[in-house]
Chain A
Amino acid sequence: MATLQSKLPASLVSRWFLAIAAGLLLCGAAHGQTKNSCLDCHSVLTDNLGVTEEKFSHDIHAQRGLTCASCHGGDANSDDPEVAMGKKAGFKGKITRAQIPQLCGSCHSDPAFMRKYNPSLRTDQLSQYHTSIHGKRLATGDTKVAVCVDCHSVHDIRPPSDQQSTVNPVNIPATCSRCHSDAERMKEYKIPTNQFAEYKKSVHHEALTVRGDLSAPTCVTCHGNHGATPPGASSVAAVCSTCHVFQAQLFDASPHKAAFASAGLPGCVTCHSNHGILHPTDALIGTDDKSVCGQCHTEGDPGFIAANSIRDHLAQLSAAIDRSDQILSKAERSGMEVSQARLDLVQARDTLTKARVTIHSANVARVQQDIQPGLVAAEKDYEAGKEALKERNYRRYGLGLSLIAIGIVLAGLKMYLKQIESGQDSQAT
């Protein structure tokens, strides 16, 4: 029986063979082993060894062609469990918690390897992890601390951009809280467990979840992610200043900087707290019960006087803006066009925002300097509102007079008609 090979020219057969072999080699080199026989069995197991194909299909590693053997060793191409999980094939079996960071780091710390998949991905996670409180404790043999899979999940590791990823910005607080809100787990570390509950009340949480602002700070923004460590008292201001630049600059130049340092008080959190940072209001400044200045300053000291003065200035501008807003709203409800005054009022509000930042300088003169243009703008807008209402009244008086004039003409026409028609009737009769 003639074979296909015998029917084709020898040179053509050898060329085909070489091309197919080269293609197979290239595929193997690009993606490693493409077959994943492990799932044939593990997908039907229901205990800790079970990993469904559906779950693994969401894993970024599976999507990039890696298989179980990439981490666990063995031969994923073999259908024989003895061979696939044999020593000869380099099978590692279950990876202990202590081994996990090193195992993940074997690829993620290799820039040349990672470049093939994601050139922009950092490769310092393992070295950062070693500096973190988690890494340091793991090195001492505490395997209860967080390792890579505790945050990133295992067998369905999704990229942070995936909304279902445990390390997506929106999910990070809940991920950290899985351990840090567990009082039993945290008992031996003697650290509080109310951070997540506090954070949920904060302005940052609101920005993240209500306004959908993915740049809003989560746990890792302040504590770091792979190098997670509580910022010390001395570095709190530096952490906050990564976003609140102007407030930090003003604070650094203020008398509070040295005073806080000498008292061992961490900068920002002394007044604003840490995890449960509420939206700051003008009530924070001043010396009454709701304010924070009164916690250190006592009646008669210069800081006490300055705090009250700054509060008064802010209240003055706030009241001026409210007054203008009310009169402009009244004019608008009357149908008057006051859009230009409305625009100017936005500038007055901007001035108030600026002054609220300037209070971090604890300098009354500077706050007053910022308030002044806002007061002028608010007064101008109030006058514009008054003018609009005056114009409205003028229009209504004008309307009243016009309607009287129209009424007189109508009455005159009616009388004239009556006169004509009575004449016509008498002519007809």
Chain B
Amino acid sequence: MGFFRKLRDWLDDRFGWNELLAPLRKKTVPVHRLSHWYFLGGITLFLFVIQVLTGILLLLYYRPGANEAFESVQHIMTRVKFGWLIRSIHSWSANLMVFTAFAHMFSVAFLKSYRKPRELTWLSGMILLFLVLGFGFSGYLLPWNTLAFFATKVGTEITGQVPIIGRPLMIFLRGGEEVTGATLTRFFGFHVAVLPGLATLLIGLHILLVQRFGISVPPKLEAEWLAKPPALREMKFFPNFALRELMAWYVALGVLGALAAIFPWDLGVKADPFVSAPAGIKPEWYFLFMFQTLKVIPSKVFFIDGEVLGVLAFGVAGAVWLLLPFIDTGRARRWVNALAVVALTYIVGMTIYGHFAK
């Protein structure tokens, strides 16, 4: 212990360490029957850190390029010591991160934690969710297997349906008219450089905002506590909440390890651009609700192309959701919860439908 105390004193002497940590010591977390939802943001952060660490390790062996990508991932899975574990954890934690990010977003929406003054926290979180989906979309192609190849082909084709900017955007994403090795190197660049850079900046901002405004309390409870201050219950952020969060991270680590060991992530079959797409090709589960929606929309709705209409509808819905803190005022307030319930039911319902549909 003597060493750590000396180190703390050394740091305090030079950087005012104790002063820096003072807000953390004072910080508290509200305690109520919905407090466990507060752990989701931390778990998402933990999974992001796991992504970064395993991603760096995968970079030691992964080779981007249509002729090498699949073989290099196969090498990682079969020849590199614990390569299978690193790749499986990377893939599983990516999927869990998408899930916890969505769960965190809906918990924030239902607890109405986006209210003034936390509008920017919501906005930065939403952009982070889009980045997470971008990570998923770009990373899915990197093993260059058949499913990934055709899912990317379909996904970029949908991007091409966006009016005006769609086609240039699709060509930019693909690096040409078709999904080729150029798309793979491009996606690799997005996945390991562009997106991590942006995500790190935004995570920093997001955490800073959370620290600045503290943790929100649901409106009803907030009113109760304001009316009756002795009813207020809270715990210290450090060490009480932080240790609980640490326990949640350990549980997440255990779940990840179990998934990776019992269900190692499949490698699939190397992509062949000259064969036809396998029957019933589907995107990753987190894009399934959008994919299924576009499938069920008729090819023409009045005079508008069905796919274009679907893409536009998702664009409008996304924009409304993004601006939720600014909409949730006055009379609209009562509709916001109903909107969140509809959105959640729709996403879950269409995902299940898409999973079982042929």
Q: Judging by beta carbons under 8 Å apart, are B74 and A337 in contact?
A: yes
Nearest-neighbour CB distance to chain A for B231, whole angstroms, equals 16
A340 vs B71: C-alpha distance in the bound complex, in angstroms?
Answer: 11
A316 vs B210: C-alpha distance in the bound complex, in angstroms?
Answer: 70
Q: Mark A300-344, 1 if CB is under 8 A from B, else 0.
A: 000000000000000000000000000000000001110110000
Smallest CB-CB separation from A417: which chain B residue?
Answer: B243
Most buried by A among B74, B77, B254: B254
A421 interface hit (Cβ, 8 Å): yes
Chain A residues near B254: list those with CB within 8 A.
402-403, 406-407
Neighbour of B261 across the interface among A337, A396, A414, CB < 8 A: A396
Q: Judging by beta carbons under 8 Å apart, are B257 and A399 in contact?
A: yes
Chain A residues near B236: list those with CB within 8 A.
424
Chain A residues near B251: list those with CB within 8 A.
406, 410
Q: Mark A400-429, 1 if CB is under 8 A from B, else 0.
A: 001100110110011011001100100000
Chain A residues near B246: list those with CB within 8 A.
413
Q: Judging by beta carbons under 8 Å apart, are A406 and B267 in contact?
A: no
B contacts with A: majority SS: helix
A414 vs B267: C-alpha distance in the bound complex, in angstroms?
Answer: 39
Nearest-neighbour CB distance to chain A for B84, whole angstroms, equals 7
A407 vs B258: C-alpha distance in the bound complex, in angstroms?
Answer: 13
Q: Known contacts A337-B267, A410-B247, A413-B247; decide if A395 and B78 are in contact (CB<8 Å).
A: no
Interface size in chain B (residues, C-beta < 8 A): 24
Most buried by B among A340, A399, A413, A420: A399
Q: Mark B240-282, 1 if CB is under 8 A from A, else 0.
A: 1001101100110110011001111011000000000000000
Q: Mark A183-221, 1 if CB is under 8 A from B, else 0.
A: 000000000000000000000000000000000000000
Smallest CB-CB separation from A336: which chain B residue?
Answer: B264
B176 interface hit (Cβ, 8 Å): no
Neighbour of A403 across the interface among B239, B244, B258, CB < 8 A: B258
Q: Mark A126-164, 1 if CB is under 8 A from B, else 0.
A: 000000000000000000000000000000000000000
Neighbour of A340 across the interface among B78, B240, B243, B250, CB < 8 A: B78
A398 interface hit (Cβ, 8 Å): yes
Nearest-neighbour CB distance to chain A for B275, whole angstroms, equals 17
Neighbour of B240 across the interface among A335, A337, A421, CB < 8 A: A421
Interface residues of A in 14-66 (CB under 8 A from B): none
A413 vs B240: C-alpha distance in the bound complex, in angstroms?
Answer: 10
Neighbour of B84 across the interface among A337, A339, A402, CB < 8 A: A337
A339 vs B244: C-alpha distance in the bound complex, in angstroms?
Answer: 43
A386 vs B246: C-alpha distance in the bound complex, in angstroms?
Answer: 39
Chain A residues near B84: list those with CB within 8 A.
337, 395
Q: Known contacts A409-B250, A413-B246; decide if A339 and B267 are in contact (CB<8 Å).
A: yes
Chain A residues near B74: list those with CB within 8 A.
337, 339
Chain B residues near A398: list those with CB within 8 A.
261
Q: Judging by beta carbons under 8 Å apart, are A399 and B262 in contact?
A: yes
Most buried by B among A336, A406, A413: A406
Most buried by A among B247, B261, B262: B261
Nearest-neighbour CB distance to chain A for B348, whole angstroms, equals 27
Q: Judging by beta carbons under 8 Å apart, are A335 and B263 in contact?
A: yes
Chain B residues near A399: list those with CB within 8 A.
257-258, 261-262
Nearest-neighbour CB distance to chain A for B242, whole angstroms, equals 10
Q: Judging by beta carbons under 8 Å apart, are B257 and A402 in contact?
A: yes
Q: Known contacts A337-B264, A395-B261, A413-B246; decide if A406 and B253 are in contact (CB<8 Å).
A: yes
Q: List 5 A-B contacts (CB under 8 A).
A: A335-B263, A335-B266, A402-B257, A407-B254, A413-B250
Q: Which 10 A-B pairs have the closest CB atoms?
A: A399-B261, A335-B264, A406-B254, A337-B77, A395-B261, A413-B247, A337-B78, A417-B243, A406-B250, A402-B257
18 other A-B residue contacts (CB within 8 Å) besides A395-B85, A399-B257: A335-B262, A335-B263, A337-B78, A339-B74, A340-B78, A396-B261, A398-B261, A399-B261, A399-B262, A402-B257, A403-B254, A406-B250, A406-B251, A406-B253, A406-B254, A413-B246, A413-B250, A420-B240
- Write the residues of chain A forming the contact surface with B, with a CB cutoff of 8 angstroms: 335-337, 339-340, 395-396, 398-399, 402-403, 406-407, 409-410, 413-414, 416-417, 420-421, 424
